[in-house]
């Protein structure tokens, strides 16, 4: 309800993988938690075993109309947002190299991984401007987007995450006067559908790296890039 003053957390792409685990944890810790998902049926299945105050709402981050409807839903049902985790992403394109890359695929990847996070931030930030501790935007990025260590691998994905990191800097600067902290986080190589079964990290470990950036104190860092609470080079 809109007059409930408990903190609200929104996690995009929360029906599986790291997003689901982050949402589970935030709900268990007392956030009213919104699983923002493309497929509502999948979202309800994902929410079934979670404890706490959990809601499922439709959101396709690549679709501007869907994002607008989602923001309206948030305004109506919760009236505020305290934590936004931009987690949804696609296309870890291990099969591509920069010169051979399918640019339609690159564009589609940017549409979700970069512009998706941007458009959700644009739609949700107006609901975050109330004075309250603990307001955070966490952009789930990847070391693949680090310019320092970037090679020729996964060009669409790497480009999308480098640009997402730039978005983190931009948003952090604009939202600093409001006390909203904005950071990029790499979860490490995690055994999800995206990371594959050979990945060394569990979903819980990956989610913990993301949750660190939610739990930092109000005088904590903003505009940074971290894994497991340690800075990563841009």
Ligand X SMILES: NC(=O)c1ccc[n+]([C@@H]2O[C@H](COP(=O)([O-])OP(=O)(O)OC[C@H]3O[C@@H](n4cnc5c(N)ncnc54)[C@H](OP(=O)(O)O)[C@@H]3O)[C@@H](O)[C@H]2O)c1
Q: How far is CA 95 from CA 7, 26, 121, 167, in A?
A: 41, 35, 30, 26
CA distance 213 to 225: 10
The reply on whether position 15 binds ligand X by CB under 6 A is: yes
Pairing of strands 54-58, 32-37: parallel
Size of the site for ligand X (CB under 6 A): 31
Instruction: Candidates 68-76, 83-91, 95-103, 124-132: pick the segment binding ligand X (CB under 6 A).
Output: 83-91
Q: Does residue 12 interact with ligand X by CB under 6 A?
A: yes
Contact between 19 and ligand X (CB under 6 A)? yes
DSSP β-ladder status, 83-86 and 54-58: unpaired
Residue closer to ligand X by CB (options 30, 231) is 231
Nearest Cα to Cα of residue 19 among 111, 93, 86: 86
Candidate list 34, 190, 208, 216; residue touching ligand X; CB under 6 A: 190
List the interface residues with ligand X, window 144-183 (CB under 6 A): none
Interface residue with ligand X among 24, 26, 90, 125 (CB under 6 A) is: 90
Query: Strand 32-37's sheet: what is its strand order?
Result: 54-58, 32-37, 8-12, 83-86, 136-140, 181-185, 225-227, 230-231
Q: Which residues are CB-neighbours of 43 under 8 A, at least 6 positions away? A: 14, 15, 35, 37, 56, 57, 58
Which CB atom, from 60 or from 93, has the smaller least distance to ligand X?
60
Please select the residue that binds ligand X; options are 33, 87, 168, 209, rule is CB under 6 A: 87
Cβ closer to ligand X: 144 or 222? Answer: 144
For residue 145 the two structure tokens come to: 């987007």
92 is catalytic: no
CB of 102 to ligand X, least distance (A): 18
Distances (CA, A) of 26 to 17, 30, 76, 233: 15, 7, 21, 28
Single out the catalytic residue among 157, 189, 212, 225. Answer: 157
Binding mask 35-74 for ligand X (x = CB under 6 A): ---xx--x----------------xxxx------------
Least separation in angstroms between residue 66's CB and ligand X is 8
Report DSSP state, residue 190. B
Annotated catalytic residues are 157
Q: What residues make contact with ligand X under the rule CB under 6 A?
A: 12-13, 15-19, 38-39, 42, 59-62, 87-90, 112, 116, 140, 142, 186-187, 189-190, 192-195, 199
């Amino acid at each position: 309800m809109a007059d409930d003053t408990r903190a609200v957390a929104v996690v995009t792409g929360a029906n599986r993988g790291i997003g689901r685990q982050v949402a589970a944890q935030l709900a268990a810790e007392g956030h009213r938690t919104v699983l923002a998902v493309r497929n509502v049926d999948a979202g309800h299945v994902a929410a079934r075993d979670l404890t706490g105050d959990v809601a499922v709402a439709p959101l396709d981050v690549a679709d501007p109309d869907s994002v607008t409807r989602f923001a309206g839903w948030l305004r109506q049902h919760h009236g505020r947002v305290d934590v936004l985790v931009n987690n949804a992403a696609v296309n870890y394109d291990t099969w591509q190299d920069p010169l051979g890359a399918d640019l339609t695929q690159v564009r589609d990847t940017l549409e979700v991984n970069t512009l998706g996070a941007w458009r959700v931030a644009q739609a949700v930030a107006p609901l975050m401007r109330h004075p309250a501790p603990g307001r955070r935007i966490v952009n789930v990025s990847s070391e693949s987007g680090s310019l320092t260590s970037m090679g020729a691998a996964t060009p669409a994905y790497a480009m999308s995450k480098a640009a997402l990191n730039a978005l983190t800097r931009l948003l952090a600067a604009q939202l600093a006067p409001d006390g909203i902290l904005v950071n990029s986080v790499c979860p490490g190589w995690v055994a999800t559908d995206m990371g594959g079964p050979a990945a060394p990290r569990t979903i819980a470990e990956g989610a913990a790296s993301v949750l660190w950036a939610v739990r930092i104190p109000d005088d904590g860092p903003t505009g940074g890039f971290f894994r497991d609470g340690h800075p990563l080079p841009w």
